[in-house]
Structures are given as structure tokens and as C-alpha cells.
Amino acid sequence: MGAAGSKLEKALGDQFPEGERYFGLENFGNTCYCNSVLQALYFCVPFREQLLEYYSNSKNIGDAEENLLTCLADLFTQISSQKKKTGVIAPKRFVQRLKKQNELFRSYMHQDAHEFLNFLLNELVDILEKEAQAAKSDQETSSPPEKLANGPKNGQANGSHKDPLVTLQEAQKRMKIKKPPHVLVIHLKRFKYIEQLGRYKKLSYRVVFPLELKLSNTVEDAESEYSLFAVVVHVGSGPNHGHYVSLVKSHNHWLFFDDENVEMIDESAVQTFFGSAQEYSRKLWIELRAVMPEKIQENDCRFGANMLTRAKQNQTSNFSSLVPDMSRLFKCIRYTSICSRFGQQILRLFERRE
């Protein structure tokens, strides 16, 4: 990450945000689902600020019972307090706690980023509610109970209650959002069950999403406007394999987070990421060409990118035909760390087909 970090700092130059840190997260074996979501949450500024405030207010957080909230707060504090502007951090403590907390994430199998986000946010809410309830109980115990002067409050003194007249009426049903959230999370369902195949299939068609979103005629007495700041993308052709990356907007700059790697991208490139295999292979081809040493020829790099596309799309029925060309692919991989992960994916696909 040293070279990549230097490249990012050089690209931003004098525009590098004051006090901001851009750190990649180490992958512990198919933990890209976790890394991509954590990057999106870290650059959700209100969420980050509240979490860092929680950490600073917890004086004895090191002695407190460890949970996902303390582990996440510790991770965010590690990132924000780094002396270097860029680098790599290993979220080991957080991942270990996650696996301990939920057996679903204990294996090295491919996991779903949306399920992880739901579990994490619900877990954080539960922890905070328990802490608030405990604090309230302590306060009630320490203070004397209030005396009721004139009987129970909200009591009905006089009068009688009559049941309303119930009749059938024509009606229209309508739903509105009573109070819009400060941060809006939208999950696009990109899988569909194909009855003829008896399995789920990835939906790879392009989904156009706006950088600015207005919720009109859905909220009571107001219009809400949201600005896109993070996108988590699943790259791959099926639900049981693939890779997660995240695109994040920070201080008017868009950044591409791929586990340990962090780099700048143009805003115009953001909407080209919609979960297909081709989009990532095109990016891989550009990166290979950028770092290509003299020993690697241009057609070898093109071959590596094309091989990745074919493997991810499962368009090759006979993987034995790829064996003679594997040496060319790994000729690229040996000279650049960028696609080592994808080389291993291709090998696994090859072994599975054999």
C-alpha cells in the first residue's frame, strides 16, 4: 500500500483534506463484504462523529465488556488518529468479534454485504438501547419516587365512553414516510430465483442511480433531498462468489476502495459500477497497462483481462482449454499484485469445473 498510498497523496496534492485519513482494510479471507461496508460507514460523517464521540466519552472503554460497538469505535479511532494520511489497517479485532457474535460469518465462504449491514446496525441499536436502559434504571434507583397528589395521572374522572358507529365506507389506502431519515440506505435487489434452473441468478443489467435524490410526494409536509456519498458494489456473475468494492465521496473527491487498495476515480465513472463482471475487468486492464513492466507485453495484459471476464461470466464450458494459456495469465500476476486475488479466483473456478 506504500506505493498506492503515495500515488493517492500525489493525486490529491494540495487538495488532500485536512485531518482526513484514507486507509485500506486488510482482507482476512473473503471479508471484502465487511471491508466495503465499513468504508461506507466510516465516510458517513454523522455516523463516524457520533461513534468517535461515544469512544471518547467512554473513559474506561478498555475495561468495558467487548462488543461490536466498542470494536467498531476502536477501529474508527485507529483510522482517524493515524499519523500517516494513507495506508492499510487490519480490522482483526472487529472481524474476530463479528465471527464470535454470529456464526453466519464464521466461515470463509462468500457473504452478503447487505445482511452484514443489517446485522451490524441492529446490533449497535440493541447495545445502545441496553446501555440507555441501564443508565435510566440507575437514575431511578438513586432518586426518590414522585408522590401522586391527586390520584393517577391521565385518569378519566367523569363522563361515559360510547362506541363509535362502524359502517363500511369506500376508501383509498396511501403510505407516506412520516419522518425522513438523516441517512438513507437503499438496497437494490440484484438476484432473482429462476424456477427452471432451480437456483438464484445475478441480474447484471445496468441500474442508473442519481447522484442527487429528491423524495417528493412521499414525506409529510416536506421534500427531502439526499446526496450520494457511498456505493457498495458486488462484482461477479453469481450469488455464491464474487467480490465487493465500495465507492466513496469524501470532500468532493470520489475514491475507490478495494480491500487494501485505495485510489481516486472520476465522478463520471461512478455510475459505470453496477455489479457486472465486465466493468471490473475493464478496470483491471487499465491498471495492468499502467503498471506493466517491460517484461509483460500489451497483448498479455489484454489476455489477462479477457480471461478474467470469461471466467467470471462462466462462458467457458471447457476450462481444460485454458490450461495452455494459464502461464500467460500468471505472467501478468507475477509482476503486479493488483490481480493476484483474481488469479486465485480463476484457479478456483478452474478446479471447480474440473
Q: Give the active site residues.
A: 32, 243
Q: What is the DSSP string of 177-231?
A: BSS--SS-------EEEETTTTEEEE--S-----SEEEE-SSBTT--EEEE--EE
State the burial class of residue 318 (Cβ atoms within 10 Å of its Cβ: 0-12, 13-18, 19+): exposed
- Helix %, strand %, coil % for the chain, to 5? 45, 15, 40
- Chain centroid to CA 130: 26
Answer for the pair 339, 284: CB distance below 8 angstroms, yes or no.
Answer: yes
Can you name the residues that pair with 177 across neighbouring β-strands? 219
CA 283 to chain CA centroid, Å, is 20
Task: Give the pairing of strands 261-265 and 199-202.
Answer: unpaired
Taking the C-alpha atoms of residue 14 and residue 3, their distance in angstroms, rounded to an integer, is 18
Give, as one character, the DSSP assignment of residue 59. Answer: T
- The residues pairing with 200 across neighbouring beta strands, listed in sequence order, are 193
C-alpha 248/C-alpha 232 separation (Å) is: 9
Distance, in Å, from the CA atom of 52 to the CA atom of 47, rounded to the nearest integer, reads 9
3-state secondary structure of 234: strand
Distance set, CA 24 to CA 91, 254, 323 (Å): 10, 15, 34
For residue 142, which amino acid is it?
A: S
